[in-house]
């Protein structure tokens, strides 16, 4: 790889380390915020659901802007919005404040999440190394979850939830200078002349494989956000110490460093759609084992480690399939559309988890849904037509 690509990879991975790592630790604040403000779990879960939905709704627009005009300023502006959202969460005194902070956080994540960052990496990496590069980048988000979960738990235990969120907001500002490492990385003018943005949209919308990929990613969002938001509370309800929930989410991140990188490597050797199907099938098996085995500290940590291998490993394969089928020119925008489906699933995984608990008094229904949806997603990926579009063969190789 060229030195410039390594610089892009380092900045991209570090940016995702911060943005995804902090975001994945917000589930630690569910119980203390709900108890302190005197609101039900559904209110906090709804705020997190709104955040995920706006993250997804904004991703195609952020991706389209980045594809056409570059990424640096967009990422820096969204980093400031992200920090502002965390600060508002920290000073909230009601559910309204939580929702407003989540709106800012979600809009910030629309660029700081995977769609824009992976688009930069996808364009910078040569086709034969693209899957591995995307896997390395996704591993950055996984490392962030491992690194920031203990950090968030430490801040929470030492300072309480309000001051902890304000400190974390200040920490997140490191993303502003990191954005400079991705500045100016946009689709080339020649590539944009060969296919317009509108033509790219129409092509993808009529492609059955793109439709199936979009449906399957809904399941990914539903599963991972339900676990990220509600697992700490689920374990605490079963009498476990707060550190167990924090370390479970941290282990998910740690083991997904292996999972994301391995998924990227497998995507270079095997057909990505088959690897994706196995990941979703494997998740359902892990969920079944978790709810059937006796719950102990050890079993919870084993569950988290196993799930971690399958966590964000969908990201390099899904984004890699998009680049493989449609080319990298409008990858950020097209992945943003697929990611919107992921975030709609995230909305329901977060909100429905809180609603189910408040109404039914348990998360049993949600675990069953996660299992069923995993099997459905596995079936959806097998028939995906993953051949590159014929127009790509007619394009000259980049200089």
Domain of residue 273, residue span: 3-186+195-388
Q: Would you say residue 149 lies in a domain?
A: yes
Number of domains in the chain: 1
C-alpha 112/C-alpha 75 separation (Å) is 6
Give 124-145 as a DSSP string.
HS-HHHHHHHHHHHHHHHHHHH
Q: Would you say residue 341 lies in a domain?
A: yes
Q: Would you say residue 168 lies in a domain?
A: yes
Q: What is the DSSP letter of 332?
A: H
C-alpha 216/C-alpha 120 separation (Å) is 24
Q: Would you say residue 251 lies in a domain?
A: yes
Residues 6 or more apart from 190 whose CB is under 8 A from it? none
C-alpha 140/C-alpha 10 separation (Å) is 9
Q: Would you say residue 365 lies in a domain?
A: yes
- CATH number for the domain spanning 83: value is 1.20.1250.20
How far is residue 310 from each of residues 16, 83, 319, 329, 338, measured CA to CA in Å?
18, 29, 16, 28, 19
Q: Would you say residue 393 lies in a domain?
A: no
pLDDT of residue 7: 84
Phi/psi-derived region of residue 157, left when phi > 0, alpha when psi is between -120 and 50, beta in every other case: alpha
Q: What is the DSSP letter of 238?
A: T
How far is residue 221 from each of residues 6, 74, 352, 373, measured CA to CA in Å?
29, 24, 13, 11
pTM of the full predicted structure? Answer: 0.78
> Is 119:332 a contact under the CB 8 Å cutoff?
yes
Q: Would you say residue 318 lies in a domain?
A: yes
pLDDT 10s per residue in the chain (399 long)?
A: 444 778 888 888 899 889 988 987 888 898 899 889 988 788 888 888 888 888 888 888 887 777 667 688 888 889 999 999 999 999 998 888 999 999 999 999 988 877 788 778 877 888 777 878 888 887 777 787 778 888 898 999 999 999 999 999 999 999 999 988 887 655 544 455 577 778 888 998 889 999 999 999 999 999 998 998 899 889 999 999 888 988 898 888 889 888 888 888 888 888 999 999 999 999 999 999 999 999 999 999 999 999 999 988 898 899 889 988 998 878 878 888 898 899 889 889 988 998 899 899 899 999 999 999 999 999 999 899 889 888 776 554 443
Rg (CA), the chain: 20
pLDDT of residue 186: 54
């Amino acid at each position: 790889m060229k030195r410039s690509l390594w610089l892009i990879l380092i900045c991209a991975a570090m940016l995702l380390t911060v943005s995804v790592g902090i975001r994945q630790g917000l589930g630690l604040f569910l119980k203390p915020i709900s108890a302190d403000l005197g609101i039900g779990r559904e209110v906090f879960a709804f705020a997190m659901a709104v955040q995920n939905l706006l993250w997804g709704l904004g991703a195609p627009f952020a991706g389209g802007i980045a594809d056409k005009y570059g990424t640096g300023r967009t990422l820096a502006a969204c980093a400031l919005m992200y920090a502002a959202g965390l600060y508002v969460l920290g000073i909230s005194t009601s559910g309204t404040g939580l929702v407003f902070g989540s709106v800012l956080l979600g809009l910030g994540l629309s660029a700081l999440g995977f769609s824009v960052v992976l688009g930069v990496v996808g364009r910078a990496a040569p086709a034969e190394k693209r899957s591995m590069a995307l896997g390395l980048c996704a591993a950055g988000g996984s490392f962030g979850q491992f690194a920031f979960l203990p950090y968030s738990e430490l801040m929470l235990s030492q300072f309480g939830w309000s001051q902890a969120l304000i400190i974390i907001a200040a920490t997140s500002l490191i993303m502003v200078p990191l954005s400079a490492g991705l500045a100016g990385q946009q689709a080339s003018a020649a590539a944009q002349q060969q296919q317009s943005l509108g033509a790219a949209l129409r092509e993808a919308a009529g492609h059955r494989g793109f439709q199936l990929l979009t449906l399957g990613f809904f399941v990914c969002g539903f599963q991972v956000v339900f676990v990220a938001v509600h697992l700490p509370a689920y374990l605490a309800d079963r009498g476990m110490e707060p550190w167990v929930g924090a370390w479970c989410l941290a282990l998910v991140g740690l083991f997904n460093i292996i999972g994301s990188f391995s998924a990227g490597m497998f995507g270079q050797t095997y057909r990505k759609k088959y690897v994706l199907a196995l990941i979703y099938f494997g998740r359902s098996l892990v969920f079944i084992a978790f709810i059937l085995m006796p719950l102990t500290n050890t079993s919870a940590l084993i569950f988290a480690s196993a799930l971690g291998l399958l966590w964000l490993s969908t990201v390099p394969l899904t984004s890699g399939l998009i680049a493989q089928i449609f080319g990298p020119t409008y990858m950020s925008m097209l992945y943003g559309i697929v990611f919107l489906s992921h975030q709609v699933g995230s909305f329901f995984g977060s909100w429905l988890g809180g609603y189910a608990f408040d109404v039914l008094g348990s998360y049993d229904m949600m675990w069953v849904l996660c299992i069923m949806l995993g099997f459905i997603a596995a079936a959806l990926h097998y028939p995906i037509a993953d051949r590159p579009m014929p127009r790509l063969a007619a394009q000259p190789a980049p200089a």
